[in-house]
Structure 1
Amino acid sequence: MVEIRINTAAPEEVPTPLLAVGVRAGASPPGRLAEVADPALSGGDFSGEEGETALLYTGGAIAAQRLLLVGLGNEDSLSPERLRRMAAAAARRGRSSGAREAALVVDGGGQEVRAAAEGAELGLYRFFRYKSSGREEDGELERLELLVDGRREEEARRGLRVGLAAAAAAITARDLANEPSNIATPGFLAERAREIARRHGMACTVLDRTAIEEEGLAGLAAVGRAAGNEPRFIVLEHRRGGEAPPVVLVGKAVTFDSGGISIKPSSGMEDMKYDMSGGAAVLGAMEAVGRLELPLNVVALVPATENLPGGRAFKPGDVLRLHSGKTAEIVSTDAEGRLILADALSYARRYAPSAVIDCATLTGACVVALGHHASGLMGNDEDLIAELRAAGEAAGERAWPLPLFEEYTEQIKGDVADIKNSGGRPGGALTAGAFLKEFADYPWAHLDVAGTAYTKESGGYRTKGATGVPARLLVEFLLGRTEVAA
């Protein structure tokens, strides 16, 4: 990761290989920077359109060797999301220019610094772990200074701390989800959880196959029955909130989903390594919780398994008695995520939680409904749904509410069991949510991130592959329940 620092020196006095500044359409950068920028502005080489960049040599007019102009668009106000994208564009252009060090002018205080730090860290992200040669056509940007008004230094430093923690949450999630499934097994995720626990003084419990069966987590046991890599049930506990009831985060972690007996088409199946993105995001959020030492009680539950065909695989027509005691008729073994989440939601009851949020790449139907620009949001508590939606807007990880009418529950009533694990194609994301609702008798919300957890294209501060969604949304939500702020 790039080292990011706060600097209160005047921008024109900072001796750096590259100084970046955001410029609105039709405007000029402040002070003496305008003199250096004038050739690009007056010559029509730079218009200030959002994401546009222009690199200029300063000729000694200021202390920096080069000045990078980054377009901010023509809106008067700058949202945190636009600042993230601006910082990402600046950091990437700085890296591609060969600079090892750079500085970025940040107009504002804690919130603006937080957004800039997130954008720079996430924009520079690359997953090259398995490249044996040609890893990088350009170098690495090693240090970035955020230039702020000295009168706002204290809040800027607070913002930087929060921004770096939120970025670490997303980067942890990206790294875990980008790993190939022969590496990122359930056991691998359990060991990463243990590392987070050791770093931050959390409690970590991992149930193996035998303990999973003894606990009665029948959905998780059935889904993982045919896999050579045994399932794990991961429990991570951050206890800094006194006697207050905890927030419980639940993350689906199917480390590879072939669909089981109801096997998926082969085209694109390689992307099913991302089916553990919900669990990756929850572990990422716990990394940020630990770094920020949030004064909350937060419990993470991550049911982790592979879903593979085989002689021991669970089958369509089977009936499972899940952890809660409810029975579920299996219509499709490719609707496995809701089975392992149902067990985790039932397990969460022992904590008498103040709220439970589950995150999962659950349904292709949610992608059809919302595309790749928003996660589906469902639940049984309108205040919690509103809280999560606001957190998503603030974090740049939007979530859109979807209904859970009783008619969707009717679709999943079982023929030979209490419920069935698929209600057919109509309203597929909603019947999946209705299934989960049956196991939540506390304030609960569900985030379907099937369309947002990974991407085929780079853009803004997202790079091809895992996005880390919804790790930063979860961090923002938890921050909203504390007095910790940028």
Structure 2
Amino acid sequence: MTAVSLSTSTAAALRADAVVVAVAKGPKGLVLAPGAEAVDEAFEGKLAEVLTTVGATGAEGEAVKVPAAAGIKAPLVLAVGLGEATDDSYDAEALRAAAGVAARTLAGAKKAAFALPVADADAAGAVALGALLGSYEYTATRNLGGDAKGPLGDVAIVGTKRGDKAVKAAVERAVVLGEEMNRTRDLVNLPPNDLFPKTFAERVVAVGKEHGLKVEVLDEKALTKGGFGGILGVGNGSEHGPRLVKVAYTHPKAKASLAFVGKGITYDSGGISLKPAGHNETMKCDMAGAGAVFGAVVAAARLGLQVNVTGWLALAENMPSGTATRPGDVLRMYGGKTVEVLNTDAEGRLVLADAIVRAGEEKPDTIVDVATLTGAMMMALGSRTFGIMANDDELRATVHTLAEAAGEPAWQMPLPAHLRKGMDSGVADLANMGERMGGGLVAGLFLKEFVADGITWAHLDIAGPAFNESAPFGYTPKGGTATAVRTLVALAEHAAG
């Protein structure tokens, strides 16, 4: 993995394969962002002119290379765009994106000096995180060779004040967050023949031991004994049995407790309600919610946050077979409620419901579930924004604020009471399907039925941004993105005070 460090050298004096500077779109053309002064001096004050000559505009996502001038120890200067120029500092997301573009562009290089605007600790942390996320490559099932470059080796951030403890802390936090997000990306990208409920649980156990987390795994026998009808019902059709994994981090001085619940469908064929052709190939990503929960709990532990955080990973593989749950079956969920299954491809809410009830038994202050739950949410918000629903207005607003501040686009969504009637069933307490229009909201209303009284709850539907099927952009690769990890960690930090 790419290493990140702080350097007291100037950008021109540091030995590296490349020096990265930032540029922006000014009212009269290209402008250099703060941090590029030493490099510009080596170009005799004409760096902006040189970059303009070769086509640089400062647009967001742009990356332009020029040979370094005499006096710069690196042979190459890479200019990355920040978008519109500002008179003040650049926001953290612009810096993360620019650093990510630089890291992707410099794949294969051993070392780069990042001379980006790092006026304060938040900016330095943003650059560090963007570089780590931008340098990500999935390699677990690939034989690297031929044209494969490998990730950028080392990133040295220059321009910060010597000995600044706040900057050092921000970069250290970014390293933890970046490593756990990249771990989550690896999990999402693993093929379903490598990652199924049992092997996912084994990975959690191994990482839990490494970071002092308490891990409990319920297998098929334990799930049957406990009456987890939702998880068992979804997993019935697969040779790979389901699991419910509890992974807990506790702090001796914690005054608040959070429960994070993740949908972990390691492969979703749709079950008997089989998905149509063309919709199966990326369904390994249907465990992205569980991956995000796992990454967030590990990050909270590594950061030593003064809050108790418990993750619940509801793991199953949804397959069609002679033992699979059928449309029309009635499942008795954990806690006793019954659900008529009208569509076996609405399986995520079934495993989440069991886990939400179990999480509520431990009386956390707040439950947040994370799931690639509905195509309807993608229709509403597109592929880069996730929806937030909640049984508490303040919590919904807080999650939204924290998500946006962390760089994860999100939008608050309602839970209209009139849509609940569509889930009425003549043979069970409720059905797993309701009205077609507003399907993402219907799914949220279903989950709300399983939240215990007195517990605030939020539901994050990350179906759109969890898996990027298009070209990489900013610090986001193709494939798993680790969406929601930052939001969950920010929520844990908020609860810690």
TM category (shorter chain) comes to over 0.9
> Aligned partners of 2:147, 2:211: CA distance in 1, in Å?
33
> Aligned partners of 2:212, 2:301: CA distance in 1, in Å?
8
> Aligned partners of 2:115, 2:495: CA distance in 1, in Å?
31
Partner of 2:40: 34
User: Structure 1 residues 228, 10: CA separation in 2 closer, same or farther (over 3 Å shift)?
Assistant: same
1:45-77 per-position Cα deviation (integer Å, ceiling 9, x unaligned): 322222222222234223333222222222314
Give the conservation status (yes or no) of the 8 Å contact 1:330–1:420: yes
When structure 1 is superposed on structure 2, of 213-222 and 3-12 the one drifting more is 3-12
1:234-383 equivalent positions in 2, closer than 5 A: 234-242=245-253, 244-383=255-394
Partner of 2:92: 80
When structure 1 is superposed on structure 2, of 228-237 and 15-24 the one drifting more is 15-24
Is 1:91 equivalent to 2:103 in the alignment?
yes
1:241 deviates by 4.7
1:2-24 per-position Cα deviation (integer Å, ceiling 9, x unaligned): 11001122323223221111122
Partner of 1:16: 16
Partner of 1:453: 466
2:56 counterpart (46, 63, 66): 46
SS in 1 for 2:106: helix
User: Structure 1 residues 6, 219: CA separation in 2 closer, same or farther (over 3 Å shift)?
Assistant: same
> Aligned partners of 1:94, 1:355: CA distance in 2, in Å?
42
1:155 deviates by 1.4
> Aligned partners of 1:127, 1:85: CA distance in 2, in Å?
19
1:266 deviates by 2.5
Ranges of 4+ aligned residues in structure 1 off by more than 6 Å? none
Partner of 1:482: 496
> Aligned partners of 2:467, 2:92: CA distance in 1, in Å?
22
> Aligned partners of 2:380, 2:55: CA distance in 1, in Å?
40
> Aligned partners of 1:34, 1:101: CA distance in 2, in Å?
20
1:197-228 per-position Cα deviation (integer Å, ceiling 9, x unaligned): 11111100000101001111111111111210
> Aligned partners of 1:219, 1:425: CA distance in 2, in Å?
22
1:182 deviates by 0.7
Give the conservation status (yes or no) of the 8 Å contact 1:376–1:448: yes
> Aligned partners of 1:359, 1:66: CA distance in 2, in Å?
43
1:473 counterpart (478, 481, 487): 487
Partner of 2:192: 181
1:112-166 per-position Cα deviation (integer Å, ceiling 9, x unaligned): 1111111111111111322235464334321110113325732111111111111
When structure 1 is superposed on structure 2, of 133-142 and 433-442 the one drifting more is 133-142
Partner of 1:204: 215
1:69 counterpart (67, 79, 90): 79
> Aligned partners of 2:449, 2:48: CA distance in 1, in Å?
63
Give the conservation status (yes or no) of the 8 Å contact 1:148–1:156: no
> Aligned partners of 1:320, 1:45: CA distance in 2, in Å?
62
Give the conservation status (yes or no) of the 8 Å contact 2:51–2:66: no
Equivalent position amino acid for 1:20 in 2: V
1:124 counterpart (106, 110, 135): 135
Equivalent position amino acid for 2:20 in 1: A
1:320-368 per-position Cα deviation (integer Å, ceiling 9, x unaligned): 1211211111111111111111101100122111110000111111111
Equivalent position amino acid for 1:93 in 2: T
Give the conservation status (yes or no) of the 8 Å contact 2:101–2:473: no
Is 1:464 equivalent to 2:468 in the alignment?
no
Give the conservation status (yes or no) of the 8 Å contact 2:248–2:310: yes
Give the conservation status (yes or no) of the 8 Å contact 1:242–1:297: no
> Aligned partners of 1:395, 1:183: CA distance in 2, in Å?
31
> Aligned partners of 2:75, 2:51: CA distance in 1, in Å?
19
Equivalent residue pairs, number: 481
1:387 deviates by 1.4
Give the conservation status (yes or no) of the 8 Å contact 1:252–1:304: yes
SS in 2 for 1:116: helix
Is 1:138 equivalent to 2:149 in the alignment?
yes
SS in 2 for 1:181: coil
1:157-176 equivalent positions in 2, closer than 5 A: 157-176=168-187
1:260-311 per-position Cα deviation (integer Å, ceiling 9, x unaligned): 1111113230211111110011111122112212121000001101111111
Equivalent position amino acid for 1:401 in 2: Q
> Aligned partners of 1:303, 1:135: CA distance in 2, in Å?
39
Give the conservation status (yes or no) of the 8 Å contact 1:88–1:460: yes
Partner of 1:443: 456
1:80-124 per-position Cα deviation (integer Å, ceiling 9, x unaligned): 1111110011112222xx531111014222211111111111111
1:373 deviates by 2.0
> Aligned partners of 2:51, 2:286: CA distance in 1, in Å?
47
Give the conservation status (yes or no) of the 8 Å contact 1:128–1:135: no
TM-score, normalising length from structure 1? 0.95
> Aligned partners of 1:477, 1:289: CA distance in 2, in Å?
10
> Aligned partners of 2:170, 2:355: CA distance in 1, in Å?
34
> Aligned partners of 1:370, 1:473: CA distance in 2, in Å?
18
Partner of 1:405: 416
User: Structure 1 residues 222, 44: CA separation in 2 closer, same or farther (over 3 Å shift)?
Assistant: closer
SS in 1 for 2:486: helix
1:79 deviates by 1.5
SS in 1 for 2:380: helix
1:44 deviates by 5.7
> Aligned partners of 2:143, 2:85: CA distance in 1, in Å?
44
1:381-419 per-position Cα deviation (integer Å, ceiling 9, x unaligned): 111111111111012212211111211111112221111
Give the conservation status (yes or no) of the 8 Å contact 2:136–2:151: no
